[in-house]
Copies of this chain bind each other. A is one copy, B any other.
Amino acid sequence: MLQIADKKFNSRLFTGTGKFSSSQVMKEAILASESELVTVALKRVDVGDAQDDILRHLNHNRINLLPNTSGVRNAKEAVFAAQLSREALETNWVKLEIHPDPKYLLPDPIETLKAAEELVKLGFVVMPYIHADPVLCKRLEEVGVQCVMPLGAPIGSNKGLRTQEFIEIIIDQSNVPVIVDAGIGAPSHAAFAMELGADAVLVNTAIAVSQNPVAMGIAFKMAVAAGRMAFEAKLAPIVHKKAEASSPLTSFLN
């Protein structure tokens, strides 16, 4: 069973709350997905209002909230945002996202490491969203983050695991859970990440903008479970050039 910090998760599918057509649809899709960790952008929450629409819809005993720092541009802003969210949402978990450029929303490695180091010291459970950079992952691990969240492809692109080579290396050498975040646009992508040995995936756009978010939530749930099960059962190797038959080749008619 996946464990991050002191929490255990039955589901290896983490989800986000952006882009849904309504809070009600969001709630139904997330419940259908059986996701137990759900990111929420603090900037989208009315932190002074206990009746905030998003939070109210996520008020469920299976759902753990994971506030993210989306919108901040550097370490200082990230630390401030994390502290705000800890107070507002009463959780010391934070998904650390720092993207200085709104065009591609790619994460800043320097500021992320700096913020991670400080947030760990401040007692946060830090889950950093980063490029699929194996060296950066090790450095983050060294400063005490509880997992790493390398991207599969540019956020919102739905392109799948375009960083496969590096995700494999990250999984190979990581001592903390590896959660593939961003770019996962189809259940097959999620299954593939799990087959490679990722500990979990985070999916948002692909569920939220589907024509049927509830069905898509279920589809991702099954795909993640399938990929994990295949990883544990071990896949047959890819065979190059000369194929083997599934059936013996002794001819039938002779």
Interface residues of A (CB under 8 A from B): 16, 18-19, 41-44, 68-73, 77, 80-81, 99-110, 113, 131, 133-136, 138-139, 153-159, 162-166, 168-169, 172-173, 185-189, 191-192, 195, 204-206, 208-213, 215-216, 218-223, 225-227, 229-230, 232-253
Task: Assess the A104–B159 pair: CB atoms within 8 A.
Answer: no
Task: Assess the B251–A235 pair: CB atoms within 8 A.
Answer: no
Task: Assess the B133–A153 pair: CB atoms within 8 A.
Answer: no
User: Roughly how many angstroms separate A77 CA and B195 CA in the complex, as a whole number?
Assistant: 39
Task: Assess the A230–B71 pair: CB atoms within 8 A.
Answer: no
Tell me how many chains of this kind the complex includes.
4
User: Roughly how many angstroms separate A44 CA and B44 CA in the complex, as a whole number?
Assistant: 56
Closest CB in chain B relative to A21 CB, distance in Å: 13
User: Roughly how many angstroms separate A14 CA and B130 CA in the complex, as a whole number?
Assistant: 30
Q: A104-B169, A133-B131, A133-B133 are in contact. Are A226 and B223 (CB under 8 A)?
A: yes
Name the residue on B nearest A224 (C-beta): B226
Q: A107-B135, A165-B153, A205-B236 are in contact. Are A102 and B249 (CB under 8 A)?
A: yes
Question: Could you name 7 residue pairs across A and B whose Cβ atoms are closer than 8 Å?
Answer: A41-B247, A69-B252, A72-B253, A81-B253, A110-B110, A186-B191, A219-B227
Task: Assess the A227–B135 pair: CB atoms within 8 A.
Answer: no
Name the residue on B nearest A217 (C-beta): B233
Task: Assess the A133–B109 pair: CB atoms within 8 A.
Answer: yes
Q: Out of B19, B81, B188, name the residue touching A246 (CB < 8 Å).
A: B19
Q: Out of B168, B220, B221, B246, name the residue touching A155 (CB < 8 Å).
A: B246
